[in-house]
């Protein structure tokens, strides 16, 4: 059984629209993260949360907003989507920033 | 700024041959170091990690890596590769005491020829 569930696996969105990427972890971890993998670029750290509190935000744009409704959830809301937002978005979790586990990702295509 | 360099974008080896994938990091302190593997259409899976102690760490599926502080390197090795090892390999560094941010290299695509 997957320990980190990301939904949906694939997502096609129209430029200017808004989407929410879902992430749930069942590892009992206290920290969760979002990373982005774009073509020709290394995986980029976006956010980290610990005990549902934002610890670090490396995303320049306010169009990206993490949402943590429960301690094992960290969703990612993206507004005013642009084609450059096309990427695979990975959720990850850990206990106290060690032993990270990654989800299988959501592949987003913005047209 | 911290960074990770994987100088080889693509490596091709024959099945049964030995393997070394190179990784160098830039950080003045002692980092936590990781190697991850990504198979097509899948997420990243941890191969091995170094936090402290013995600089040679063993991972899954016969992989090992050696932390050489003087060289700022953490190269990944395997004595004999199998075709199923074909994947993309990422080296990553985490800064001690930080907010959980992992810094990744660009990755090395390994192709194992039968």
Domain boundaries, chain B: 3-113
Q: Do B100 and A94 touch (CB under 8 A)?
A: yes
Structure tokens at A101: 């586990």
Mean pLDDT of A48-62: 87
**Is the minimum CB–CB distance between B105 and chain A shorter than 8 Å?**
yes
CA-to-CA dists, residue A51 to A16, A59, A64, A110, B70, angstroms: 32, 20, 20, 32, 37
Q: Which range among A80-94, B33-47, B65-79 shows the weakest confidence by mean pLDDT?
A: B33-47
Closest alpha carbon to A87 in A39, A17, A55: A39
Model confidence band, residue B97 (pLDDT cutoffs 50, 70, 90): low
Chain A: closest CA distance from residue B98 (Å): 8
Burial class (CB in 10 A: 0-12, 13-18, 19+), B41: exposed
Mean pLDDT of B84-112: 89
Cβ distance A48 to A92 under 8 Å?
no
Chain B: closest CA distance from residue A19 (Å): 21
Closest alpha carbon to A39 in A100, A83, A97: A83
What percent of chain B has a predicted confidence (pLDDT) above 90? 78
Model confidence band, residue B20 (pLDDT cutoffs 50, 70, 90): very high
Note the pLDDT of residue B95.
Answer: 73
For A1-43, what is each residue's pLDDT tens digit?
679 999 999 999 999 999 999 999 999 999 999 999 998 888 9
CATH code 2.60.40.10 for B3-113: yes
**Nearest-CB residue to B90 (from A43, A48, A50):** A43
- Would the pLDDT of B72 be above 70? yes
Note the pLDDT of residue A37.
Answer: 93
User: How many CA atoms are closer than 13 Å to the CA of B27, on its beta-carbon side?
Assistant: 25
């Amino acid at each position: 059984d997957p320990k980190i569930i990301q939904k949906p696996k694939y997502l096609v969105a129209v430029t200017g629209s808004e989407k929410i990427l879902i992430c749930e972890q069942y590892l009992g971890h206290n920290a969760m993260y979002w990373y982005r993998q774009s073509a020709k670029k290394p995986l980029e750290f976006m956010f980290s949360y610990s005990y549902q509190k934002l610890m670090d935000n490396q995303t320049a744009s306010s169009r990206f907003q993490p949402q943590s409704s429960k301690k094992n959830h960290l969703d990612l809301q993206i507004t005013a989507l642009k084609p450059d937002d096309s990427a695979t978005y990975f959720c990850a979790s850990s206990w106290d920033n060690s032993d990270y586990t990654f989800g299988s990702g959501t592949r987003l295509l913005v047209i | 700024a911290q960074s990770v360099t994987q100088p080889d974008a693509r490596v091709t080896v024959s099945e049964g041959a030995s393997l070394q994938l190179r990784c160098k990091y830039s950080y003045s302190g002692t980092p936590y170091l990781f190697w991850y593997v990504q198979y097509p259409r899948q997420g990243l899976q941890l191969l091995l990690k170094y936090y402290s102690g013995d600089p040679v760490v063993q991972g899954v599926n016969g992989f090992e890596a050696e932390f050489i502080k003087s060289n700022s390197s953490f190269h990944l090795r395997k004595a004999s590769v199998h075709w199923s090892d074909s994947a993309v390999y990422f080296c990553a560094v985490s800064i001690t005491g930080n907010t959980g941010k992992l810094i990744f290299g660009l990755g090395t695509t390994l192709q194992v020829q039968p």
